[in-house]
């Protein structure tokens, strides 16, 4: 039960309730976009390599 009390008091100060105007993307938005571009590039490269390989003899 003490853990629940600690969690309840910790979450009270997590958000002030005020809304601020967004003037530019947050750093996390930019990092997520860059990560998505990297994932697409790596996936495309892997698919190209897979299609380039000759079929195995057999």
pLDDT at residue 57 in the model: 77
pLDDT at residue 18 in the model: 86
For residues 30-41, average pLDDT: 98
Alpha-helical segments (H) within the chain: 2-12, 27-52
Kindly report the pTM of this predicted structure: 0.56
Task: Measure the CA–CA gap between 31 and 34, rounded to whole angstroms.
Answer: 5
> How high is the mean pLDDT of the chain?
83
- Give CA separation, 20 vs 11, 15, 30, 52, in Å: 20, 12, 19, 51
Task: Measure the CA–CA gap between 6 and 13, rounded to whole angstroms.
Answer: 12
pLDDT in tens, 15-32: 778 888 889 999 999 999
Domain ranges within the chain, ordered by starting residue? 26-53
């Amino acid at each position: 039960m003490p853990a629940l009390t600690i969690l309840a008091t910790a979450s009270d100060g997590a958000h002030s309730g005020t809304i601020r105007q967004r003037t530019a993307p947050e750093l996390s938005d930019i990092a997520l976009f860059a990560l998505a571009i990297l994932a697409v590039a790596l996936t495309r490269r892997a698919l190209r390599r897979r299609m380039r390989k000759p079929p195995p003899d057999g």
